[in-house]
Amino acid sequence: MKNGNIVVVDDDETLISTLKTLFYLEDFTNAEFFTEPELALEYLKDNPPDLIMSDFVMPKMNGLEFLSKANDLYPEVSKILLTGYADKENAIRAINEVGLYKYITKPWENDDLVLSVKNGIERSYLLSELRQKIVELEDAKKQLEDYSHNLENIVAERTADLSESNAKLQGIFANCADGIILTDEKGNIEQVNQTCENLFGLSENNIKNNNLSKLILSKKNILESFKTEDNDFFVRDCKIYNTVSEKEIPIDISFACISEDAVIKKYVGVIHDITEQKEADKLRDDFIATLTHDLRTPLLAAIQTLKFFLDGSIGEITEKQRLLLSTMKKSNEDLLGLVNALLEIYKYDASKLNLCKTEFNFKSLVEQTYAELKPLADTKHIDFKVNYDIDDDTKICADRSEIRRVICNLCGNAINYTNNNGEINVTVKSQAKDLIFTVQDNGNGIPQEDIPNLFNRFSQGTSKKRSTGTGLGLYLSRQIIEAHNGKIWLESKLNKGSEFSFLLTDVIVKNENNKKIIINK
């Protein structure tokens, strides 16, 4: 409160000097002093004060006149009259006429004067705040009166808007081509639309008596998704059983929370029938399979014909002709490899490939594959090693040819992407009945942003370096390992190398010896 704006008027220069000293000592820093009331009034017009002090007896304008005019400008500002003892009656009259806050007789006690100044400033603040509150209350009262007058119209308009919105929502809910289902966070069904009834072949009452876990056939537990996923989530590859047609219908469901802050959350699910999409995918895959299958015969014929030319069965050829024919043969073999890969992909995607699982010695399989790939590594002077942490007679139950394909893909990629004079370490180890196969190289590595897409279809190299392959090898490897209920993954650091691994669970069927050996080749 000491920093309030103070205006002091007194024609006595000595008194003004005394007050300046006192205010300075008491840290009243915002004080203006005047010896003429007229000058003080001019100042007050542009500078609102928090306290006005004035002497009573002054030559041109006495204190009562000055304070009366100041009161017209600032009626709520505290005003103190400095007066002699003989003028007490005039001071009391000023309290009634001018609204004087207080008068102080001369000579005064400094402590009393300082306390009066502080209290006067605080009183001005309180009166100003009170006036502001009164103005705000009057504005609020006016607004309330205006709102009350228009309340009926506002309610009527809002009711009409809500009715229109509700009618639109009901129309969307009832006529939507997708099934719409309302559940709580435990999967209990509360409401469905007509399309949903048609999909299930049940009436709404019969559906409402069930839980999602009983009506939706899914590999993933839908109820767990309500706990672990965000407020919005998507569930793929589900099925529902239609009791009328007695058929399973493939669906996808999108869930969204519609009451995030409620004690019990509510979810709306949109059920999309993907039967036509599945049929279209099947037609596409069948077309690709048929086309690629029919392409194999002419490709094999072309390759065989080119072999006849190259081995001299048809006659001698020049070196230029041999180079051209060799290029043609390599191109046809690459095309045949792509066709074969597409056929394998189709078989896995269409679930038409039946794994032929047999018991075989895993170390022998790795040895055979290693012998085939070692010459390729030698051409690049790569130190290619195999480290065994399994028994010599360890047997696993799996599809031997498919597992061999995965090993060839992983080791072949490592050889292709490892620089000359590099290193590749293959590790084979077992844990209980599980088998872990790892291929580690010290090549250029793979950027972290490319790793999530590397096992997808047609993923060729990285964003920094594109491969010349088909982009199907790692995708097919993932399909093969997952078909064996296993897992395949990658760890890589840029400019340090990559490590591809796959895990086959519960596949070891024979492991008689307890002694384990490590062989570096």
517 in a structural domain = no
Instruction: Identify the top-confidence range among 209-213, 229-233, 516-520.
Output: 209-213
Residues 312 and 246 in one domain: no
Q: Are 436 and 429 in contact (CB under 8 A)?
A: yes
Residues 207 and 291 in one domain: no
Residues 57 and 72 in one domain: yes
138 in a structural domain = no
DSSP bridge partners of 399? 357
3-state DSSP of 399-437? EHHHHHHHHHHHHHHHHHHCCCCCEEEEEEEEECCEEEE
- Between 337 and 46, where is the model more confident? 46
61 in a structural domain = yes
251, 273, 295: which is the final residue of a domain?
273
Residues 307 and 255 in one domain: no
Residues 431 and 288 in one domain: no
Per-residue pLDDT reduced to its tens digit, 459-474: 555 555 444 455 678 8
Q: Are 299 and 332 in contact (CB under 8 A)?
A: yes
What tokens appear for 26 in the block? 């008491």
- Calpha distance 476→467 (Å, rounded): 16
Residues 100 and 208 in one domain: no
322, 349, 376: which is the final residue of a domain?
349
Residues 414 and 499 in one domain: yes
- Mean pLDDT within 378-399: 92
Residues 365 and 496 in one domain: yes
- Calpha distance 289→20 (Å, rounded): 103
CATH number of the domain within which 188 lies: 3.30.450.20
Domain count, the chain: 4
Q: Is the pLDDT of residue 214 over 70?
A: yes
Strands 102-105 and 179-184: unpaired
516 in a structural domain = no
Residues 257 and 282 in one domain: no
Single pTM value for the model = 0.46
> Whole domain around residue 69: which residue ranges?
6-130
Residue 521 pLDDT grade (very low, low, confident, very high; cuts 50, 70, 90): very low
Residues 404 and 288 in one domain: no
Phi-psi category of residue 207: left, alpha or beta, with phi > 0 → left and psi -120 to 50 → alpha: alpha
Estimate the share of the chain in helix, then strand, then coil, as percent rounded to the nearest 5: 50, 25, 30
213 in a structural domain = yes
Pseudo-torsion of CA 228, 231, 234, 239, nearest 10°?
A: 70
Q: What sign results for the dihedral spanned by CA atoms 200, 205, 208, 210?
A: negative
Q: Is the pLDDT of residue 113 over 60?
A: yes
149 in a structural domain = no
What pLDDT does 468 receive? 46
Residues 180 and 100 in one domain: no
Residues 341 and 476 in one domain: no
Residue 353 pLDDT grade (very low, low, confident, very high; cuts 50, 70, 90): low
255, 273, 291: which is the final residue of a domain?
273
CATH number of the domain within which 33 lies: 3.40.50.2300
Q: Which amino acid is at 58?
A: M
CATH number of the domain within which 370 lies: 3.30.565.10
SS3 (DSSP) at 314: coil
417 in a structural domain = yes
